[in-house]
Amino acid sequence: MLRFGRLNVEKLESRGDVAGLTRVLATAEQPDLRVKALRALARIGELDLLFGALGDRAPEVRAEVARALGSIRDRQAELPLMVALRDHDWHVRMAAAEALGQIGDAEAEEPLLAEFEDTNAQVRAAVAEALGKIGDIRAEDPLVAELADSDRLVRAKAAEALGHLGDRQAVGPLLSSLTDSDAFVRELAIRALGCLRDNHAVEPLVAALADSDAGVRAATAEALGRIGDARVFRPLVETLTDRRYDVCRMAARSLARLGWRPTCDENGARYFLALHLIDRAVETGCCVVKPLITVLMEDDSRSMRAAAARALGEIGDQRAVGPLIACLSNPHVSETVRSAAAEALGKIGDASALRSLRSALLDHDAKIRDAARDALEQIGVRLSRTKVGV
């Protein structure tokens, strides 16, 4: 009896031994070895042998064959994959649908549409995604119908696919999905509306900036930036105060894309911080000190608060010393913010921070201890220079 293993399959592939790999595929008892053999045959380019493996007794092997055929993207694989859409195992049917989507030929549309009747939601979702990749407008009505599917993943993938099709006739149905009970569906519907860039979506999208889910709000900020209507500026600026950093960042990116010019106020400070443009915030100067202090003390995002601390350190305004000490000394503040506050105090160099920095040398967090040590050295150098009149 022939014995096969991973190393043997690798050797067979390295020698280009198609006959040997075919024997493994036909006789190896372990499905994982047959999978390794068919992957090797796919890399070699033996399509006909892969077609035959779609009849393998193990569903995991048949599914892997479908995935391999999709990655090759050869139209010769379409007919065998269409047949695989009727496999009794749903994993195989799903893989076949995904593969047909990768190949991207409109000839597969009708067989795929028939699979919206599949009882398995994973298969229906794969079909929706495949139709979106194929991009044939004839799939629009069936995809719109799938927005009402009982499964959240199917509804989400249908919405995403409608965005890929690019027909603005889908705007109305997608707007209806903004009230879907599932946040993932709402998010993908919003992303699809951003792809379609229809001005009729602006007001409903502005309302979605208040959604309870941060992913939905971030997707909305991005979509509004892609649409580019003049009505989006004020809502996007207001979104810079969102409690989640990823939402602020997306609002800032959209504003940058639309050519917004930040003002010297809290919104301008948040804009620069969200984009990690600390140097630009520093260039703005003293007029952003108060807004930066507000972000430092009140923002819910530790990334934004840490960035504000660093910017305040670069500006070097004495008004920031008290708030920075308060952050450093508060054990409930995140370590990221506290270490950034220590760094900033070192750059400002005010002696009033010495006591708090010395206490931070005993902190449980190594980054805070290191930042405090460096800050004390900086302040010590500055004070010694002051004493000798340097």
- Assign residue 282 the CATH number of its domain: 1.25.10.10
The percentage of the chain sitting over the pLDDT mark of 70, rounded to a whole number, equals 97
Q: Please return the burial class of 65, using the count of CB atoms within 10 Å of its CB with bins 0-12, 13-18 and 19+.
A: buried
Q: How many CB atoms lie within 10 A of CB 232?
A: 26
Statement: residue 104 has pLDDT above 70 = yes
Report how far residue 277's alpha carbon sits from residue 181's, in angstroms, rounded to the nearest whole number.
37
Query: What does pLDDT average to over the chain?
Result: 91
Torsion of CA 197, 202, 207, 210, to 10 degrees: 50
* Cβ atoms within 10 Å, residue 377: 11
Going by C-beta distance under 8 Å and a sequence separation of 6 or more, which residues neighbour residue 349?
Answer: 316, 378, 379, 382, 383
186-198 pLDDT tens trace: 999 999 999 999 9
Boundary-marking domain end, from 134, 157, 178: 134
Q: How far is CA 25 from the centre of its chain?
A: 38
Q: Across residues 134-157, what is the average pLDDT?
A: 96
Name every residue whose Cβ is closer than 8 Å to that of residue 9 and which is 6 or more positions away in sequence. Answer: 21, 24, 33, 36, 37, 40
> 17-21, 176-180, 252-256: which range is least confident on average?
17-21
Would you say residue 95 lies in a domain?
A: yes
Query: 86, 112 in Cβ contact below 8 A?
Result: no
Residue bearing tokens 């298969």: 123
Tokens of 251: 């609002």
Mean pLDDT of 241-262: 92
Q: What is the pLDDT of residue 278?
A: 78
Let me know if residue 191 belongs to a domain. Answer: no
Q: Is residue 213 a part of any domain in this protein? A: no
Neighbour tally for 77: CB within 10 Å: 26
Please give the pLDDT value at position 298.
83
Instruction: Give, in order, the Cα–Cα distances in Å from 331 to each of 327, 339, 365.
Output: 8, 12, 11
Predicted confidence band of residue 72 (pLDDT cuts 50, 70, 90): confident
Higher-confidence residue of 284 and 338: namely 338
pLDDT of res. 252: 95
Whole-structure pTM value:
0.78
Give residue 388's pLDDT.
Answer: 56
Question: Is 379 a member of any domain?
Answer: yes
Q: At what angle do helices 266-274 and 302-315 cross, to 10 degrees?
A: 110
Match 């010395």 to its residue by tokens.
Answer: 358
- Give domain status of residue 230, yes or no: no
Q: How confident is the model at residue 7 (pLDDT cuts 50, 70, 90)?
A: low
d(CA 239, CA 242): 5
Q: Is the pLDDT of residue 2 over 50?
A: no
Residue 206, in any domain of the structure: no
Q: Structurally, how many domains does the chain consist of?
A: 2
Q: How far apart are CA 92 and CA 37, in angstroms?
A: 18
Q: How far apart are CA 292 and CA 280, in angstroms?
A: 13
Is residue 114 exposed (0-12), middle (13-18) or buried (19+ Cβ within 10 Å)? Answer: middle
Higher pLDDT, 302 or 210: 210
Four-point Cα dihedral 313, 318, 323, 325, nearest 10:
80
Assigned domain for 111 exists? yes
Q: What is the C-alpha separation between 121 and 106, in angstroms, rounded? A: 23
What integer is the mean pLDDT of 80-103?
96
Residue 90, token pair as written in the block: 């749903």
The pLDDT of 14-37, averaged and rounded, is: 85
Per-residue pLDDT, averaged over 135-158, amounts to 96
Instruction: Write out the residue range of the structural domain in which residue 339 sits.
Output: 273-390
56-60, 145-149, 261-265, 368-372: least confident range: 261-265
Instruction: Give residue 387's pLDDT.
Output: 64
Examine the pLDDT at 6 and tell me if it is beyond 80: no
**Could you tell me which of 318, 317, 306 has the C-alpha nearest to residue 342?**
306
Q: Judge whether residue 303 has pLDDT over 80.
A: yes
Residue 3: inside a domain = yes
- Per-residue pLDDT for 390 more than 50? no
Last residue of a domain, one of 79, 107, 134: 134
Domain boundary residue, one of 134, 154, 188: 134
